[in-house]
Structure 1
Amino acid sequence: MKEDQVRHQILEAAACRFANYGYGKTTIAEIASDCTMSSGNIYRYFDNKEAIAIAGVAVKLEEKALICEQATNTTAPAIEQLHQYMLARLRFSHAFNCGGSHLHELVQLITDRHHHLIDQYDQRLIAWLEQIIEQGIASGEFRSQDPTQTATSIAMATMMFCIPSFMQEPLPEMEAKLFGLLELLHRGLKA
């Protein structure tokens, strides 16, 4: 098996363990057992359990960003792009957060000790939203405004749609709230 495949196998096994049993209760030995390899072999790929968690979160954030970007039809009107992106973001976040009852431990670890991962994702999100805002301004769909500030404000206003503690509500209810917020944002953005 190639090195990338082994790393992927380890990350998948760890993700299942973290989701089902919690980060704190998961051991390297259990992850190794799930991968049918020795604990020592895990250390060839990752320094420790926290390194596995960091790598796993980085992979998930990249996956989330790609899914949201790919869901956006860049030839559509800007407000439609905003809807597409935010809906994909909500659906990914909801599915991920409903995937295990112990994910809050992992989120807490990243928030407390590795916030740079979240910052990197947020900067990518804001850059994508900024492109949508710029396109909306250029087409006359949105009034003239600072695209960076507007993108940052939209990211902040929609934050609840990707925070785990808000993901306990059923998806249709979350979608209805998102659509209401996006309608309000559209009224503020339009020319």
Structure 2
Amino acid sequence: MAEFIEITDGAPIGQRGPAEHERRAQILKAADEHFRHYGYSKTSVAALGRAIGVSAAYIYRFFDSKQAIGEAVVAQVLSEMDAGLHEIAVGPELATARLRRLLLTMMQCSCDRFLKDQKVHEIVVVAMENNWCATVDHQHAVENAIRRVIIDGRESGEFERKSPLDEICSAIVAASLCFSHPKLLESESNEELERRLTIVTSLVLRSLAP
């Protein structure tokens, strides 16, 4: 696996050159299309170069490996979900309602993005199994959203305040993994997943009651 390098213009690890560049956008668009059509494992950097009329060497001016391109594509997919979860976390509803909606939205978004498109499913599984930065950042975003709701619930008196906050957040993240990890979503129908999530969420909320 290529050794990633840090750069100083604000781009993620493994990416080079200016963060805003027409060619970078073209590479990512071609990568997204190729990954969805052929799959991540069957897409080469050379193929992406041919798709936009440049050499593989030129693409390496922006990304130091195929993994870095994959990371950027996965980050785009997951960042949309993260933005939606953050919006729920800071919303005006009671914390109890926000936590229910947060976990349900996470499951629904995961099913929509990972299961309906098997090629997207493949690259996200690769990213999660190899702890790509994009998936680590996604997990942090999920935990931060949950943490915001728990803190608000404690301040409003909806949730108890004795249990360590870190333990509560880690436990909820672990419980939600069954309803958001692409490999774990495959074995159940959406209806069964939603039924089980309702049970788990109710159990979590009872444990948080003051």
1:88 match: 105
- Give the 5 Å matches for 1:24-63: 24-34=41-51, 36-40=52-56, 41-63=58-80
Q: Distance in 2 between matches of 1:3 and 1:33?
A: 22
How far the C-alpha of 1:25 sits from its partner, in A, is 0.9
1:1-191 residue pairs with structure 2 within 5 A?
A: 3-34=20-51, 36-40=52-56, 41-72=58-89, 74-144=91-161, 145-168=163-186, 169-191=188-210
* Secondary structure of the structure 2 residue equivalent to 1:46: coil
The one-letter code matched in structure 1 to 2:100 is H
Q: Report the more deviating stretch, 107-116 or 168-177.
A: 107-116
Whichever residue aligns with residue 149 of structure 1, its letter is E
The more displaced of 82-91 and 170-179 is 170-179
Aligned Cα RMSD in Å?
Answer: 2.4
Q: Which amino acid aligns with 1:156?
A: A
Unaligned runs of 5+ in 1: none
My pick for the range that moved more, 22-31 or 127-136, is 22-31
The structure where helix makes up a greater share of residues is 1
> How far did residue 103 of structure 1 move?
3.8
Alpha-carbon distance between aligned partners in 1 of 2:76 and 2:47, rounded to the nearest angstrom: 21
CA distance in 1, matches of 2:76, 2:29: 11
Percent identity of equivalent pairs: 28
Normalised to the residue count of structure 2, the TM-score between the two structures is: 0.78
Deviation of the 1:139 alpha carbon: 1.1
Q: Using the alignment, how far apart are the partners of 2:143 and 2:33 within structure 1?
A: 30
Instruction: Give the SS at the match of 2:200.
Output: helix
- Consecutive unaligned residues of structure 2, counting only runs of 5 or more, are 1-18
Count of aligned pairs between the two proteins: 189
Give per-residue Cα distances to partners, 1:105-139, cap 9 Å, x unaligned.
Answer: 42343234444433332223222211211111111
2:114–2:124 Cα contact (<8 Å) kept: no
Work out the CA distance in 2 between the residues paired with 1:131 and 1:65.
13
Please give the TM-score of this superposition, normalised by the length of structure 1. 0.84
SS in 2 for 1:161: coil
Runs of 4+ in 1 over 4 A off after TM superposition: none
Most deviating of 140-149 and 75-84: 140-149
